[in-house]
């Protein structure tokens, strides 16, 4: 009995000690290349600036202690040598000892995790709060600022979570999805509009309303077992007003400050404009994105290491495969190169792409690996390809054909791929959580929608599908962006319909669902579509022909953007057609001889696998 009481007292003392201090990162690993770790220590209710700090752990050295104007903080620079073993590092601060776990590394780097997302993948973007509620017990979490739970409002939380995503992995795999991109999963303890997750309040907590760290690990492990990858959404540029480091700042240098509130001008041109004014560049990069999101000062080396270590920690702790970076152009780009390189060094196969909601191929390509000879060279692998959406597929399906209009814009935009180091890494898409749903963009015209989907699944790059696109979910950003973030029908107990099942979908929805599933699953098996080359031919009279091909396979993609049928002579495409005798329609399975011409229905796209 005495021994049990003694154990409980020790446990209480250890728990109390750790409760007095917040340590960021919460733990680390042996044998990491990033072996000089800055541990940010916060003691919310006490002055630790004058406290003596010591530790004694084989292979771990306390190199340096940094202090700040705010006495609640210290930064401890720890060097972890190759001889260090897993265990618990005891950090003594004053008379109190805090535990800092040092773990063995996750196995399977580049194989079972950090495997990267490539052009062989189909990415499915999910907003966890709006996809499926797998665990109603976490719908509201006591103590969090946002206690809303109202599915009748697009501005309040609905209760979707990570367990809901996990429950539908088989649905996604059947659809042909190979990678899942989740809108941010980090704690977002803001008072309102928290469903999107882009205003972090604690970098080292997974939001408990979507299940917390345990649910995140369960989802990732389950996805990996099914051969699927996970992409985490990263936000480096800003945080939420309620972030612990903003509410209780170490000093005045951690966030950008202005004499009065200054919002970014959203002018990416100012960053690379040879004629640009420095004030415009400063406002672009240092101005706050919105009033509720404080802007990190990424020139501060402590901020840099805090954000870099968090990125490394997430990959190692959870085993994610890819990294999507929000609002990429607004960051300090030299810092971003450093952060990206730290991830590449530790995880050589990881993929990283950034959101670049800009206008123009030169603008977009400036922010990723490119072939320009210019002073600044980005090491970001790729971007989200807004150019092929705004100046490609939207005009292709919605504008009349002309010398530079209509589908000519797809042709023209793709012709500028010579500026990218690797255009096959570009992430192509029809819509996302910030844009009108594409089914609404085409005014619910299923012919246009199918044409655009065929393009998405056959063009160069990594295709991304927004949740619910396969069941014709609609919505525009007017009157607000919540209209494009509606619940997936069937994701909640008691929903009137369940579109996760064929029986719950309408006839029209099943036609589109099966169309996507057929193309997506064919794509998984197609070397030409996943890793092959692209050859496009100049459009004529609203008809656009392009080929995906390699030594094993040739795919002919024919797009008719006219309201009338089109018969096209095939002799112009001889350099890709020579030697082929027949064509199998990938969607219908019908095999026909290759003749002198090809007939296309109005507003349609045919995907043909050629055989000799």
What pLDDT, on a 0 to 100 scale, did the predictor assign at position 499?
98
CA 482 to chain centre: 19
pLDDT greater than 50 at residue 10: no
**Closest to 568 measured CA to CA, from 529, 521, 606, 520:** 606
pLDDT greater than 80 at residue 19: no
The pair of structure tokens assigned to 517 is 């599933």
- DSSP labels, 464-523: EEETTGGGT----SSS-GGGGSPPPTTSSTT-S--TTSGGGS-HHHHHHHHHHHHHHHHH
Please return the burial class of 193, using the count of CB atoms within 10 Å of its CB with bins 0-12, 13-18 and 19+.
Answer: middle
Q: Which residues are catalytic?
A: 326, 355
Tell how many helices (H) and how many strands (E) occur in the chain.
18, 26
pLDDT, tens only, 174-197: 999 999 999 999 999 999 999 999
Which regions of the chain carry the CATH code 2.60.40.10?
Answer: 2-103
Which regions of the chain carry the CATH code 2.60.40.1180?
Answer: 534-611
The domain defined by 2-103 carries CATH number 3.40.640.10: no
**Strands across the sheet containing 604-611:** 533-540, 543-549, 554-560, 604-611, 582-585, 591-593
- CA-CA distance, 393 to 524, in Å (whole number)? 23
pLDDT, tens only, 544-601: 999 999 999 999 999 999 999 999 999 999 999 999 999 999 999 999 999 999 999 9
Please return the burial class of 462, using the count of CB atoms within 10 Å of its CB with bins 0-12, 13-18 and 19+.
Answer: buried
Helix axes 333-346, 301-318, angle to 10 degrees: 30
Which regions of the chain carry the CATH code 3.20.20.80?
Answer: 123-525
pLDDT, tens only, 310-347: 999 999 999 999 999 999 999 999 999 999 999 999 99
The pair of structure tokens assigned to 420 is 């990218």
- CA-CA distance, 465 to 455, in Å (whole number)? 12
Q: What is the mean pLDDT of residues 131-159?
A: 97
Whether the CB-CB separation of 596 and 571 falls below 8 Å is answered with: yes
What pLDDT, on a 0 to 100 scale, did the predictor assign at position 107?
98
- CA-CA distance, 76 to 319, in Å (whole number)? 26
What pLDDT, on a 0 to 100 scale, did the predictor assign at position 17?
56
CA dihedral over 438, 440, 443, 446, signed as positive or negative: positive
- CA-CA distance, 601 to 567, in Å (whole number)? 9
Diameter of the chain measured on Cα atoms:
93
Tell me what percent of the residues of the chain surpass a pLDDT of 70: 97
3-state SS class at 5: helix
R_g (Cα) of the chain, nearest Å:
26
Helix axes 507-525, 446-458, angle to 10 degrees: 10
Please return the burial class of 214, using the count of CB atoms within 10 Å of its CB with bins 0-12, 13-18 and 19+.
Answer: exposed
pLDDT greater than 90 at residue 513: yes
CA dihedral 502, 175, 132, 220 (to 10 degrees): 150
- Give the right CATH number for 123-525 from 3.10.180.10, 3.40.50.2020, 3.40.228.10, 3.20.20.80: 3.20.20.80
CA dihedral over 154, 156, 158, 161, signed as positive or negative: positive
Question: Model's pTM, two decimal places?
Answer: 0.96
pLDDT, tens only, 227-267: 999 999 999 999 999 999 999 999 999 999 999 999 999 99
- CA-CA distance, 7 to 25, in Å (whole number)? 28
* Superfamily classification of domain 534-611: Golgi alpha-mannosidase II (2.60.40.1180)
pLDDT greater than 70 at residue 18: no
Between the two ends of the chain, the Cα-to-Cα distance in Å is 83
Q: What is the mean pLDDT of the chain?
A: 96
pLDDT, tens only, 535-557: 999 999 999 999 999 999 999 99
**Strands across the sheet containing 60-67:** 22-24, 36-42, 73-80, 60-67
Whether the CB-CB separation of 527 and 552 falls below 8 Å is answered with: yes
Helical ranges in 394-445 per DSSP H: 394-398, 408-415, 438-441
pLDDT greater than 80 at residue 309: yes
What pLDDT, on a 0 to 100 scale, did the predictor assign at position 15?
47
- CA-CA distance, 65 to 50, in Å (whole number)? 11
Query: HEC string of 161-229?
Result: CHHHHHCCHHHHHHHCCCEEEECCCEECCCCCCCCCCCCCCEEEEECHHHCHHHHHHHHHHHHHHCCCE
- CA-CA distance, 173 to 55, in Å (whole number)? 49
Query: HEC string of 558-606?
Result: EEECCCCCEEEECHHHHHHHCCCCEEEECCCCCEEECCCEEEECCCEEE
pLDDT, tens only, 454-509: 999 999 999 999 999 999 999 999 999 999 999 999 999 999 999 999 999 999 99
- DSSP labels, 290-323: STTSPBB-TTSHHHHHHHHHHHHHHHHHH---EE
Q: What is the mean pLDDT of residues 277-296?
A: 98
pLDDT greater than 90 at residue 45: no
- CB under 8 Å to 492, separation ≥6 — which residues? 132, 133, 151, 158, 159
pLDDT, tens only, 66-119: 999 999 999 999 999 999 999 999 999 999 999 999 999 999 999 999 999 999
DSSP run (H or E) holding 536: strand 533-540
């Amino acid at each position: 009995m005495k021994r049990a009481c003694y154990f409980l007292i020790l446990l209480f003392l250890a728990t109390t000690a750790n409760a007095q201090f917040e340590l960021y990162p919460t733990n680390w690993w042996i044998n990491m290349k990033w072996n000089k770790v800055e541990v940010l220590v916060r003691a919310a209710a006490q002055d630790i600036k004058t406290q003596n700090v010591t530790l004694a752990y084989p292979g771990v050295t306390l190199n340096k202690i940094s202090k700040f104007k705010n006495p609640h903080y210290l930064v401890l620079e720890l060097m972890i040598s190759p001889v260090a073993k897993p265990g618990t590092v005891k950090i003594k601060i004053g008379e109190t000892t805090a535990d800092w776990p040092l773990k063995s590394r996750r196995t399977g780097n580049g194989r079972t995790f950090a495997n990267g997302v490539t052009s062989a993948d189909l990415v499915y973007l999910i907003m966890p709060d709006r996809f499926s509620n797998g665990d109603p017990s976490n719908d509201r979490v006591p103590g969090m600022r946002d206690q809303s739970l109202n599915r009748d409002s697009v501005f309040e939380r609905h209760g979707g979570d990570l367990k809901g995503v996990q429950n539908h992995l088989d649905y996604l795999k059947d659809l042909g999805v190979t990678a899942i991109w989740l809108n941010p999963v980090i704690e977002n303890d803001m008072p309102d509009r928290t469903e999107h997750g882009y205003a972090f309040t604690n970098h080292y907590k997974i939001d408990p309303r979507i299940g917390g760290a345990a649910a995140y690990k369960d989802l990732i492990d389950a996805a990996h077992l099914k051969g699927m990858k996970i992409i985490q959404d990263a936000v480096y540029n800003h945080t939420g007003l309620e972030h612990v480091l903003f509410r209780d700042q170490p000093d005045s240098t951690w966030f950008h400050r202005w004499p009065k509130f200054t919002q970014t001008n959203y002018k990416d041109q100012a960053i690379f404009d040879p004629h640009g004014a420095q004030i415009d560049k400063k406002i672009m990069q240092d101005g706050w994105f919105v009033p509720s999101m404080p802007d990190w000062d990424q020139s501060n080396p402590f901020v840099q290491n805090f954000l870099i270590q968090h990125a490394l920690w997430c990959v190692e702790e959870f085993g994610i495969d890819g990294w999507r970076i929000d609002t990429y152009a607004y960051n300090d780009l030299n810092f971003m190169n450093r952060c990206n390189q730290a991830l590449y060094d530790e995880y050589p196969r990881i993929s990283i792409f950034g959101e670049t909601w800009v206008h123009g191929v030169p603008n977009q390509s400036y922010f990723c690996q490119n072939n320009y000879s210019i002073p600044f060279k980005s090491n970001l692998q790729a971007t989200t390809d807004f150019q092929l959406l705004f100046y490609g597929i939207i005009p292709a399906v919605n504008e009349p054909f002309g010398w530079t209009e209509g589908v000519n814009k797809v042709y023209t935009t793709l012709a500028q791929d010579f500026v990218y180091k690797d255009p096959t890494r570009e992430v192509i898409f029809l819509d996302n959580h910030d844009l009108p749903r594409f089914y609404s963009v085409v005014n619910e015209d299923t012919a246009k929608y199918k044409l655009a989907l065929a393009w998405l699944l056959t063009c160069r790059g990594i295709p991304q599908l927004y949740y619910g696109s396969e069941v014709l979910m609609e919505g525009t950003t007017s009157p607000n962006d919540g209209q494009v973030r509606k619940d997936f029908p069937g994701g909640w107990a008691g929903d009137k319909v369940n579109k996760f099942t064929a029986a719950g979908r309408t006839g029209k929805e099943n036609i589109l669902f099966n169309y996507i599933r057929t193309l997506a699953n064919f794509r998984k098996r197609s070397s030409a579509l996943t890793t092959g080359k692209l050859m496009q031919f100049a459009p004529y009279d609203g008809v656009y022909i392009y080929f995906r091909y390699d030594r094993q396979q040739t795919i002919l993609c024919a797009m008719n953007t006219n309201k009338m049928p089109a018969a096209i002579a095939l002799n112009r495409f001889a350099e890709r057609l020579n030697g082929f005798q027949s064509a199998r329609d990938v969607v219908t399975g019908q095999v026909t001889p290759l003749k002198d011409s090809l007939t296309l229905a109005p507003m349609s796209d045919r995907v043909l696998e050629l055989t000799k």
